[in-house]
Amino acid sequence: MPVLDLAQLPAALPPRAPVLGLDLGTQTIGVAVSDASRMIASSLAVVARKRFEVDLAELERLMQSREAAGWVIGLPVNMDGTEGPRCQSARAFARNTLRRRDLPIAFWDERLSTAAVQRMLIEEADASRAARARKVDSLAAVWILQGALDRLRHAPV
């Protein structure tokens, strides 16, 4: 299965199956999960990156624990719309996953997701720098997944 356009994702998923949202950092992977109706994204975990095979095994374990059926991966597009090395890395992660597992995967433009989450943690939660560092990856995954879910819900039919 190739990486899907976001609009194609619902047709590739079983009804009422949650999806995971992934924020692929260099050190960690923030993971969020939707509810079965795909309306609300919630923080699930932060996976410390090791090797691809180990990371994939942990993501598969998280999928099984929540009976999730697909992924939305944040695509870190540059502000001018171009794709740099981080986008290439996200695309490679998806390609490598699809070589090992047939899984519906779509990308979501994650521009400013980390900045938005950090601002929220500073302004609303008054979180310390250390607390923000622990939460930002997981909450960025929530931001990514919620944006994709909202787009799917409001997409023209």
Q: Which two tokens stand for residue 33?
A: 């999960």
Q: What is residue 123's predicted lDDT score, i.e. its pLDDT?
A: 54
pTM, to two decimals? 0.86
pLDDT of residue 74: 95
Q: What is the pLDDT of residue 56?
A: 98
Using CA of residue 72, residue 28, residue 36, residue 60, what is the dihedral sign? Answer: positive
Q: Which amino acid is at 128?
A: S
- The domain ranges of the chain are 6-153
Q: What is the pLDDT of residue 13?
A: 96
Instruction: Look at residue 152 in the predicted model and tell me its pLDDT.
Output: 92
CATH class label, 6-153: alpha beta
Ranges of residues in the chain whose predicted pLDDT is under 50: none
- pLDDT score for 11: 95
Distances (CA, A) of 117 to 33, 84, 121, 137: 17, 22, 6, 9
Q: What pLDDT, on a 0 to 100 scale, did the predictor assign at position 113?
A: 57
pLDDT at 131: 59
